[in-house]
Amino acid sequence: MCGIVAAAARREVSEILLEGLRRLEYRGYDSAGMALIDQEHGLRIHKRKGKVAELEKAQREQPYHGTTGIAHTRWATHGEPSGVNAHPHISGRRVALVHNGIIENHATLRAELVEEGYEITSATDTEVIVHLLHRSLAIGGSLLQAMQQTVAKLEGAYALAAIDTQNPDTVVGARKGSPLVVGVGIGENFLASDTMALRQVTDRFIYLEEADLVCITPASVQVYSADGREAKRPIARIEEGLEAADMGDFEHYMIKEIFEQPEALEATFAGAINAQKIEERFGPAAPALFDQVKKVQIVACGTSFHAGMVARYWLEEIAGVSCVVEVASEFRYRKRVQHAGTLLVVISQSGETADTLAALRNASADEFIGSLVVSNVDNSSLVRECDLVFLTRAGIEIGVASTKAFTTQLVALLMLTLALGRRRELPDSRQQDIITALQDLPQCVRQTLELNEAIRLLSEAFIPKRHALFLGRGIQYPIAMEGALKLKEISYIHAEAYPAGELKHGPLALVDHDMPVVAVAPNDELLGKLKSNLEEVRSRGGELFVFADKEAGFANEPRVQILPMPHCPEVIRPIVYTVALQLLSYHVALQKGTDVDKPRNLAKSVTVE
Ligand code: F6R
């Protein structure tokens, strides 16, 4: 989603801003822009539709210089991707502004401003903000005061950064509902939507809180809380982020991140040598809260929602805890009835997903005994607002398609299952079996990664196809859903997942020689039933690709290709099979020539509704 970088320095900042934008490209965007205040205190602006490379080209052809500036990558919400709609937006040739989020009352504000004589040139919801700033500045006062007056009029979500030619060494920012961090330097300070953008210039960050305003100059950082008082916010030192941006020998971040999974999984459960140690990973308040849990309500979006669906099988089967799972965009707007003793669990790689955050915020204390987040990003909004926190240790994930974040979420949720199971008399031997299975997991994933070439060969059959079906049963059904999501998002092949038993209730009508059917078939108690479902596909001319435990008794036959998977403990199979499906999508996308790391129309961190 949109990205912001801003700088107030004593040195030239155009290259810092462009590098920041390059480092934010992973978030997904469709246009980019940059505004600098030049030596004569004039605004210099480049805006381009398309990639940051286009903006760099514009800057090469017509170099602009300045020590104060703002830059932006835009993911279109209001108005098509175009140079005109790209940020920064300006008003009166004096103020420039970049914005992440959505302003819900933009139409009312627009009418008000037009009435007063402001000319609105773009189709965005953002442009009204810069005119409001200009209007406040025109009647006197500082840029900070103008920002305070402006945000008071806004309804919706925003992270903002603005510059004013009459305050040439200052950048003012504000956030509500969208993240914004301050990068603290020596003789220079910065703003950005995430720390990644600024890791080349600093390792010290201030995470702004909801409704904070901030004013930076080369020499100072001042933060103000919603009530207008100056606020003290701690400075955090971040170590991660420099190496993550390096692709090493890999062709894409996605494949690098797929191959990082053994270490990421290991790091996520490291030290969990017994179930008591596992509870500690959820924070000191966890044991007391876990004692009260009678039911779990999981809320998440996309891939994280699939992790929740897998967890439901574990929580009910292993821990004996009732569990329901819902996508956040539905949950947040629904009238709900909760049972006493329900724990709210939100899952989010980024910790910033707008719908998941809104779901947490509108969940009342009457409904839930407490909240737990599983996230990959420390200090994210969800992490700051939940009672209990489990941080996965996937490391920064740059590829838009979630891979290592998903499998580490599954590890976290299996650990939650163990922690809750212990409080419901899950036998010690079963607890130990699960811990041993977790310890085997990195090796099972390594064995799956060795199938990379075999999966690449298998993927060739998908290149000419326009549709694909994914089938699974039981706990492998959400894994089939995740496989289908991965294939559609990066290869643009339309893919759907079904529980295999549902096939003859409709989707079987789609099956012909042009419809590849991928089946996830581990060697569990549902295998016999799955085999019958697959026969139904084969006898209708469908082409089957079966990811099967090598001990499951499948063999290649005409129109049936088997991918023999390593034999591994049953409880971790959903994680292991996911890795094989990630490789399948990656190779299909690679051969189709799509933009694997930045698939069209998608964003990494979905900070708008
Ligand atoms: C798909 C994908 C998305 C995210 C979803 C939620 O590969 O990455 O479906 O899972 O946008 O994002 P988070 O987990 O950050 O809340």
Q: What CATH class is the domain 450-598?
A: alpha beta
Q: Is the peptide bond before 81 cis (omega within 30 degrees of 0)?
A: no
Higher pLDDT, 564 or 503: 564
Smallest CA separation from ligand 1 atom 9, residue: 302
Task: State if residue 373 touches ligand 1 by the CB under 6 angstroms criterion.
Answer: no
Q: Distance, CA 201 to ligand 1 centroid (Å)?
A: 28
Q: Is the CB of 356 within 6 Å of ligand 1?
A: yes
Using alpha carbons only, give the angle 244, 246, 248 rounded to the nearest 5 degrees: 120
CA dist 560 → 538, 545, 548 (Å) = 8, 6, 12
Give pLDDT, residue 242.
64
d(CA 600, CA 609): 18
The rounded Å distance from CA 535 to ligand 1 centre is 34
Task: Report the mean per-residue pLDDT for the chain.
Answer: 93
CA angle, 505 then 509 then 510, to 5°:
120
Q: Is 348 in the pocket of ligand 1 (CB under 6 A)?
A: yes
Nearest CA to ligand 1 atom 8: 402
Q: Of 234, 212, 216, 233, nearest to 224 (Cα)?
A: 212
Which amino acids are annotated catalytic? 2, 604
With a 6 A CB cut-off, is 392 part of the ligand 1 pocket?
no
Ligand 1 centre distance from Cα of residue 220 (Å): 36
Q: Measure 33 CA to ligand 1 centroid, in angstroms.
A: 26
Residue 299 contacts residue 326 (beta carbons within 8 Å)? yes
Would the CB of 257 count as within 6 Å of ligand 1? Answer: no
pLDDT digits (tens, 9 = 90+) for 305-361: 999 999 999 999 999 999 999 999 999 999 999 899 999 999 999 999 999 999 999
Q: Whose CA is nearest to atom 13 of ligand 1?
A: 348
Paired tokens of 113 = 């401003």
CA pair distance 354, 351, nearest whole angstrom: 9
Highest mean pLDDT among 280-294, 406-420, 498-512: 406-420
368 close to 297: Cβ distance less than 8 angstroms:
yes
- For 248-448, CATH number out of 3.40.50.10490, 3.30.1330.40, 3.40.50.80, 3.40.50.300 equals 3.40.50.10490
State the pLDDT at residue 241: 64
**Domain pair 248-448 / 450-598, same fold:** yes
| Residue 206, pLDDT score | 96
Mean pLDDT of 123-148: 95
Q: Give pLDDT, residue 141.
A: 87
Asked if the model's pLDDT at residue 527 lies above 80, the reply is no
- SS percent in the chain: helix, strand, coil, step 5: 40, 25, 40
Give the three-class secondary structure for 204: strand
User: For the chain, how big is the Rg over CA atoms in Å?
Assistant: 25
Q: Which sequence spans correspond to the domains of the chain?
A: 3-239, 248-448, 450-598
Distance 301 CA to ligand 1 centre (A): 6
What would be the CATH architecture of the domain defined by 3-239? 4-Layer Sandwich (3.60)
HSE at residue 359, side-chain half, CA atoms within 13 A, is 30
Query: 402 CB less than 6 Å from ligand 1?
Result: yes
From the CB of residue 532, how many other CB atoms can be counted at a distance below 10 Å?
Answer: 10
DSSP secondary structure string for all residues of 231-254: E----EE--TTTGGG--TT-SSHH
Average confidence (pLDDT) over 35-64: 95
> Per-residue pLDDT tens for 217-230?
999 999 999 888 99
* Choice from 298, 299, 350, 398 to test ligand 1 binding pocket (greatest atom count within 8 A of CB): 350
Among 178, 392, 402, name the best residue to mutate to test ligand 1's pocket (greatest count of ligand atoms within 8 A of Cβ).
402
Tell me, what's the pLDDT at 181? Answer: 96
